[in-house]
Structures are given as C-alpha cells and as structure tokens.
C-alpha cells in the first residue's frame, strides 16, 4: 500500500515537470533529481546536472531509485526494469553483457589497457585489468580484498540457506563478462544486501563493483594469474599498485551457486571447489569497463 501511494504521488509529481526539458530521477525516499543524459546501467543510474559533455558524470545506485521520467516522456520504473533483466538475461542460454553506456575511465587509458595494467576509474577507484574481450571492453579486479574472512550468506544454521531464484546452479568456468552482476542483483533482490556479506563488501566500493561469477573468478585466478596465487602476474601487478595480491592460503567466493546450501569458490591453487554459504572465505571485487 505504501509503495502504491508513493508511486501515485510520483505520477502526480512527474506531470508537474512535464513541461521541462530535463530528465527527472525520483528516489525511493521521494527526493527528486533534475538531470540530463540519464542512462540506466547494470547496477547504477548515470546522469549529469548540466546538458553538456564537460559536466561531471554522476551515479546513483539503482536500488535507491523508484522511477525515472525521461524528457521524451518515457517512464522507467526500476522494479519493472529489474524484472525484464531477469527474464532476458538470466534465463537465456545466450547471455549478452550490457556494457557501460559511457566511458567509466579515461578512453585513452582504456584503449591502451592490457592484462596487468592499472585502470583508474572516474569515481576514484582503481583496478588491475585481467580480461579484455578484444572489442574495447574488459574486466578489472579491485586492488584490495577484505581485511578479514567473510561469509557468503549471513546465516547460523544450514536450514536458513536458500536457493536464489534465477541464479542457475551450474559449474560454468567459461568467461561470461558481467554475469556476476546479474547473480548479485538477483541475490540482493531476494534476500537483501545485509544478508549477503561478500556481495555487500564488493558493492561498498561503488555501485559498479560486484562479486564475480564462477567464470569471471576462474578467468582471474586460473587464466590471468596462471594459478600461481602470490607468484602470478596479476598478483605482481596488484602489489606494484600497492594492492593485496591473490593469497596462497585462502579460498575466494564466487556469486555462482551449486544449490541452496553451497556456492562455487576457487582454491589457492586455482581449483574449483564447493563451499558452504556459511563458510568464511575471502572475495575479490571486479567491474566492467
């Protein structure tokens, strides 16, 4: 009822702004943002406060947004957008990643990127490149890992674990760029961010950082780092950037499930293992560019 009344109020409010040639972003708490060049990304909404390319590109997490009214009259309701993503991407055998609609870092830096190079993103975060798709896009791993071991799901007994809907329980190690975003979003939608410590830690870095799927994690630990843990090329690049290397003695969670109780992780030697959701492992956050 509360959401229904809020949505009704939003519709009335949107009509008030219909004469202005601006986009209108309405947040879950009712606050509004008058914006230009608004775009809905994987986990965030991108916008500018002035109608020119020189103005700063700002972001807001999609979870904070209720509805967007574009200046052309189109209305985007976040719940409907998320539902569409689940049906078209998660249930499809031919997953197609949704790349960032605008550059997330200096285009020249991205154009020169190679495996092991450092990317500094516009939001001030940094990562080491570990995958390039050959079409100007790729994946970077955040420089740091959690200081302490962390849970996948915050539960006290196995009876509290649940199978996340729309997340296939598959052992897939091939790279599907950005798939972890969909898995994280599905888990958050079902359980809430507070119940998912590993995913929450990744998202705390910024709205575009996420817990990698098994395939993405495999690409990082096994393919790019050559299963060499602290001695691998990605570990060396992380250390050169004053980051934390891929450790010898801890396991890393992926966002891919095996069943309601278990998820897939990567061992220090690069092997795929099954971990309990209430085990304590580490994690690495990644993002697309």
Per-residue pLDDT of the chain (289 residues; tens, 9 = 90+): 444 444 444 444 444 444 456 899 998 888 889 998 887 765 677 788 988 766 777 778 887 898 898 888 888 887 654 444 444 444 444 567 788 888 899 999 999 999 999 999 999 999 999 999 998 999 999 999 999 999 999 976 656 788 998 899 989 999 999 999 999 999 999 999 999 999 999 999 999 999 999 999 999 999 999 999 999 999 999 999 999 999 988 999 999 999 999 999 999 888 999 999 999 999 999 999 9
SS3 content of the chain, % helix, strand, coil (to 5): 30, 25, 45
Neighbours of 275 (CB within 10 A): 21
- H or E segment and range at residue 24: strand 23-27
d(CA 190, CA 83): 12
d(CA 235, CA 240): 9
d(CA 127, CA 196): 23
Which residues, 6 or more positions from 45, have their beta carbon under 8 angstroms from its beta carbon?
25, 38, 39, 59, 60, 61, 62, 65, 68
The pTM for the full model equals 0.69
- H or E segment and range at residue 129: strand 126-132
Q: Is 118 helix (H, G, I), strand (E, B) or coil?
A: strand
Structure tokens at 2: 């509360």
Q: Which pLDDT belongs to residue 8? A: 46
Distances in Å between the alpha carbon of 70 and those of 24, 50, 73, 112, 154? 6, 15, 5, 35, 38
d(CA 279, CA 250): 12
d(CA 70, CA 120): 30
CB 57 within 8 A of CB 69: no
Q: Compute the Cα dihedral for 75, 80, 82, 85 and give only its sign.
A: negative
CB 251 within 8 A of CB 151: no
Q: Which pLDDT belongs to residue 30? A: 81
Structure tokens at 127: 């990562």
Q: Which residue has the tokens 């940094």?
A: 126
């Amino acid at each position: 009822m509360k959401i229904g009344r809020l949505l009704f109020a939003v519709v009335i409010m949107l009509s008030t702004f219909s004469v202005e040639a601006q986009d209108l972003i309405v947040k879950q708490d009712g606050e509004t943002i008058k914006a230009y060049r608004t775009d809905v990304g994987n986990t965030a909404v991108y916008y500018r406060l002035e109608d020119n390319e020189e103005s700063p590109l700002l972001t807001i997490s999609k979870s904070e947004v209720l509805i967007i009214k574009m200046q052309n009259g189109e209305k985007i309701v976040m719940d409907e957008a998320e539902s569409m993503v689940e049906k078209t991407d998660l249930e499809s055998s031919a997953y197609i990643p949704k790349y960032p609609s605008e550059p997330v870092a200096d285009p020249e830096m991205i154009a020169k990127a190679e495996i092991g190079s450092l990317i500094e993103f516009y939001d001030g975060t940094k990562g080491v490149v570990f995958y390039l798709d050959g079409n100007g896009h790729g994946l970077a791993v955040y420089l740091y890992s959690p200081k302490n071991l962390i849970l996948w799901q915050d539960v006290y007994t196995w009876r509290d674990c649940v199978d996340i809907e729309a997340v296939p329980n598959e052992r897939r190690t091939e790279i599907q760029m950005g798939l972890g975003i969909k898995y994280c979003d599905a888990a958050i939608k079902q359980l809430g961010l507070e119940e998912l410590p590993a995913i929450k830690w990744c998202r705390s870095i910024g709205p575009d950082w996420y817990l990698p799927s098994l395939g993405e994690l495999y690409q990082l630990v096994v393919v790019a780092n050559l299963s060499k843990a602290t001695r691998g090329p990605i570990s060396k690049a992380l250390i050169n950037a004053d980051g934390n290397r891929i450790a010898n003695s801890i396991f890393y969670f992926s966002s891919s499930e095996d069943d309601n109780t278990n998820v897939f992780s990567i061992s220090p030697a690069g092997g795929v293992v099954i971990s309990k959701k209430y085990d304590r492992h580490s994690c690495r956050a990644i993002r697309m560019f």
